[in-house]
Chains A and B, each alone.
Chain A
Amino acid sequence: MLDVLGSKVLGRQQAHCDGVSRRSLLKIGGLALGGLSLPQLLEAEARAGIGRSHKSVIMVFLSGGPPHQDMVDLKMDAPAEIRGEFQPISTNVSGIQICEHLPRLSRMMDRLSVIRSLVGSEGRHAAFQCLTGRNTNRQPTGGWPALGSAVSKLRGPVDPGTPPFISLTPNMKGGGWADPGQAGYAGLAHAPFTPNRDGTVSLQLNGISLDQLDDRQALMTQLDLLRREVDANGEIEGLDAFYQQAFGILTSDRLADALDLENEDRRVRDRYGYGSDEPAGYGDAGPLNNQHFLAARRLVEAGVRVVTLAYGRWDWHGRPHGTNFENARDHLPRLDQGLTALLEDLQQRGLDQDVSVLVWGEFGRTPRINKKGGRDHWPRVACALLAGGGMRTGQVIGATNRLGEHAIDRPVHFQDVFATLYRNLGIDVNTATIDDLNGRPQYLVDHSHYQPIRELS
């Protein structure tokens, strides 16, 4: 809970004439991003010397590890037990083929770059590496910050009404895929705002949650009441500017409007497709809900710098939970629809040069199909899709060997991808640092080894 007028803020307990403390009047839960109050968050950002730009990133985390060889690196010369069931199809870029279950992407390949040689996976079933670029070992004091947290620290909000880092990841069973991104040494003030999660990180205003924002009348009634209370005491003018900003976020329409998909044209919503808000698989993975792609677009349009979302359950070990290929036939067409809708939408709105889109998972899958029709974990190589952000597209970067086992050309590390995203956001990984909790400056990536991907420039 964030206590805007309570004793924690003013240093003394104040009560109204009716004996009810102000604290009970204005409680803003959840905007306490990970524990810090919103005013503290804003204050910290101001101290950091916030810059402003409208460059942004949408990161789609394919929770579980997608099968690179069944999506964008089909191995038709491999034996049947490796090759898999799917056929390649040509794309609108000569010489590039992808899976037959990605037909819409095949017609937009000129807007994408495919990395077939992603290396450096820690091999953990978790979002951590995709969100931070780092592995979990030997973290500096405070821990590595997620991309969005680092950007929040370095750039601050674009608009007072929108947090710089939003994760659409909901609560799920199990921790690894549910991780919305840790703030690490960037500080809790820069933890993601997580509107789809329950509990302490949901935005609540005297009992009204974001889930209920479709009832705008109720919200406005509550806000009007609060405003009257505050104004009657004449204290709003004297409050710290950060509290006014906090109030601004809560009373701004920007965030609420962005998250209210009912405001969107029905044809646009249909173009993205739909899905369930329930965590996919067995309640432990990202929802397979294409409307989250749309929400991401609306959020970056509203000023959010980094939006992340977990999408689907890609950990396909085989029967009795369906073969790798049954699951791929289920997931790939949905991803195909949602991702192409996003890219198309960004372009139509003139956002494609400003918004970088990244789609990836924590590792690839085993070349050899197991006895149960599944593919197991394969950290040696994986794939990623990149689009927008002013990047050069219509190309494949890197290659794997005949069996899809390892990179044989142009290995690209997770941190190279992060360096690219930072560059697209206007942040130079060779110079930008954030102090860890020991006060030691930490670079955003290990820049002596990893740099923005030159082919994308």
Chain B
Amino acid sequence: MNQPLFEFRHNNAVYGVAFAPQGKRLATASLDNALKLWDLQSGEMIYRLEGHGDGVCSVAFSHDGSKLVSASLDRSLKVWDPQTGSLIATLTGGHQNYLTCMALSQRGSLAASGGFDNTVRLWDVGAGTLGAAATGHSDAVKAVAFSADGKTLVSGSDDSAIKWWEVPSGKSVNSIRAHAGSVECVALDPANRLLASGGADRLVKLWDAATGKLLTTLAGHRRFVKSLAFSSDGKTLASGGYDAVVHLWDVESAQLQRTIRAHNNTVYGVAFSADRRLLATASFDRTIKVWKLV
């Protein structure tokens, strides 16, 4: 796995990466204000999707792959048809400052976003409407994640806290001080058992997703941890950092399995394909790399 299967490029830093559910396509989001959709069989770019007025910070496919949702620093969400590359809808009116993170529920059509206005916003991307605002963080929200059942939303912030929110009401249900310094990324495992978080303290932490109890701490990154993703079976956790490195952790044993010196700059995004055969990493070095795991 020393060499990536594919290396793709944007004209600026790459902030987000997502596999289509069928695993044949990859969507990437960049500070160059564009999304790109890549064919993982040919390695060719299929579409360059333009329309955002600032960097695109996050991208996600709907559970059936029929929609692609992007979120931008321009405070908007856009819904695209990944088959045609056409824009379906633009959702605005939520955030009062930079929107910096977005997650899409795999149940229903809800999206959640966090921003520099310290809020988490819920959106119905099917209806094109803005839902509840979840307030309580005292600093910028850097990360959001839905539970697999779609009933809970988790957010991490520069205020060092992780908060749990009820969906769709946005009611706060739990809060912990998670890291020394900012919380940069969060991920929930597919079984709803574990919450992983990464922070400015260079640590990855695993929490009981239901109670917020700390289970274990994973040390390995030399700078802050910027991205996290569980594999679809929940057995592997990938973390990417400001140190340009990607670590693969065995969740059960909490041991470092593998280190990939993947990039020349911060790793802003990591994603597993649904079949767990591929790992995609996205970096401030303008590249996206697709690694064959098995």
- Nearest CB in chain A: distance from B172 CB, A: 24
Q: A282-B54, A330-B284, A330-B286 are in contact. Are A322 and B13 (CB under 8 A)?
A: yes
Give the residues from 1 to 19 in chain B that come closer than 8 angstroms, CB to CB, to chain A.
Answer: 11-13
- Say yes or no: is A8 at the interface (Cβ < 8 Å to chain B): no
- Nearest CB in chain B: distance from A110 CB, A: 28
**Count the A-B residue pairs with Cβ separation under 8 angstroms: how many?**
39
- A281 neighbours in B (Cβ, 8 Å): 12
Q: A281 to B285: give the CA distance in the assembly, Å.
A: 13
- Nearest CB in chain A: distance from B86 CB, A: 23
Q: Which of A283, A320, A322, A326 has the most CB of B within 10 A?
A: A320
B265: which of A280, A319, A330 is its contact (CB, 8 Å)? A330
Give the residues from 74 to 125 in chain B that come closer than 8 angstroms, CB to CB, to chain A.
Answer: 98, 100, 116
- A329 neighbours in B (Cβ, 8 Å): 264-265, 284-285
Quick check: A282 and B11 within 8 Å, CB to CB? no
Q: A320 to B31: give the CA distance in the assembly, Å.
A: 9
Majority secondary structure, B binding face: loop
Q: A321 to B31: give the CA distance in the assembly, Å.
A: 7
- Say yes or no: is B55 at the interface (Cβ < 8 Å to chain A): yes
Interface string of B268-294 (1 = CB under 8 A from A): 000000000000000011100000000
- Nearest CB in chain A: distance from B143 CB, A: 12
- Nearest CB in chain A: distance from B51 CB, A: 14
- A344 neighbours in B (Cβ, 8 Å): none
- Nearest CB in chain A: distance from B107 CB, A: 28
- Say yes or no: is A94 at the interface (Cβ < 8 Å to chain B): no
- Say yes or no: is B73 at the interface (Cβ < 8 Å to chain A): yes
Give the residues from 241 to 258 in chain B that come closer than 8 angstroms, CB to CB, to chain A.
Answer: 242
- A322 neighbours in B (Cβ, 8 Å): 13, 31, 266, 284
Q: A322 to B15: give the CA distance in the assembly, Å.
A: 10
- Say yes or no: is A122 at the interface (Cβ < 8 Å to chain B): no
- Say yes or no: is B33 at the interface (Cβ < 8 Å to chain A): yes
A276: which of B11, B54, B55, B265 is its contact (CB, 8 Å)? B11
Q: 8 A-B pairs, CB-CB below 8 angstroms? A: A278-B32, A280-B11, A282-B54, A282-B55, A322-B266, A326-B13, A326-B284, A329-B285
Q: A321-B55, A322-B284 are in contact. Are A330 and B13 (CB under 8 A)?
A: yes
- B242 neighbours in A (Cβ, 8 Å): 326
Q: A321 to B32: give the CA distance in the assembly, Å.
A: 10
- Say yes or no: is B161 at the interface (Cβ < 8 Å to chain A): no
Quick check: A320 and B55 within 8 Å, CB to CB? yes
- Nearest CB in chain A: distance from B117 CB, A: 12
Q: A329-B264, A330-B265 are in contact. Are A320 and B11 (CB under 8 A)?
A: no
- Nearest CB in chain A: distance from B76 CB, A: 14
Quick check: A330 and B285 within 8 Å, CB to CB? yes
Interface string of A299-334 (1 = CB under 8 A from B): 000000000000000000001111000100110010
Residue of A nearest to B57 (CB): A320
Quick check: B265 and A326 within 8 Å, CB to CB? yes
Interface string of B29-42 (1 = CB under 8 A from A): 00111000000000
- B285 neighbours in A (Cβ, 8 Å): 329-330
- B284 neighbours in A (Cβ, 8 Å): 322, 326, 329-330
- A283 neighbours in B (Cβ, 8 Å): 33
B266: which of A282, A321, A326 is its contact (CB, 8 Å)? A326
